[in-house]
Structure 1
Amino acid sequence: MTEEDLQKQQAAMANQKRQEVEREYREQHPDQIKQENELSFEHKTNKLKKKLNIAIITVFGLIIIVFLILFFI
């Protein structure tokens, strides 16, 4: 068995152990997982709200600039 094969095998075993620990945690702490998901959802929603507000303000600003240019030309 080569060094590379050994490293791949160790990485696979570590990944399997990590997944097993995560599964056990989800089973033992379902309320904590639900709360984390809700916070994640709220964070994503707030980020989208900020981006939407910036887009709306930009569009209105550009419309005002176009009207001012057309009015003075």
Structure 2
Amino acid sequence: MDEEPKTRKAYREAQKHSQSQASERDKKRVQVEREYAREQRQKRHGKMQPNGQFDDITYKRVTGLKKKLNWAIGIVIVLLIIVFLVLAFV
């Protein structure tokens, strides 16, 4: 409480200084968050090789899922046709 009142110029300089420090902190925080998000995304998704291709394990997994999805879509379409025929002719 022994501080003397600041002049307007000193107050503005202090405000600029604190704003620039906050801005620098925010820039660093955003950079760190982006790096962390990039690392987590790479961990979560399959590892990609430098040329953009998936590794063998991921490729086999994706291929198996594609086949299962195609079968599921086909079965749903057949069931819809059966339901339509039952509703139309009963």
Q: CA deviation at 1:38?
A: 1.8
- 2:73 matched to which residue of 1? 51
- 1:63 matched to which residue of 2? 85
Higher alpha-carbon Rg = 2
Q: CA deviation at 1:8?
A: 0.9
1: CA distance, partners of 2:48 / 2:79: 44
- Scaled by the length of structure 1, the TM-score of the pair is 0.54
Q: Deviations over 1:28-63 (max 9, x none)?
A: xx9x81222121121132023112202211212211
Aligned counterpart in structure 2 of residue 4 of structure 1, from 26, 29, 32: 26
- Identity percentage of aligned residues: 5
Count of aligned residue pairs for this structure pair: 62
* Counterpart residue identity of residue 63, structure 1: L
2: CA distance, partners of 1:43 / 1:13: 30
Q: Taking structure 1 as reference, are residues 4 and 54 closer, same or farther at Cα in structure 2, changes over 3 Å only?
A: same
- Scaled by the length of structure 2, the TM-score of the pair is 0.47
Please identify runs of 4+ aligned residues in structure 1 that moved more than 6 A: none
Gaps of at least 5 residues in structure 1 are 69-73
1: CA distance, partners of 2:31 / 2:87: 62
Gaps of at least 5 residues in structure 2 are 1-20
How well do the aligned residues superpose, as a CA RMSD in angstroms?
A: 3.4
Structure that is richer in helix per residue: 1
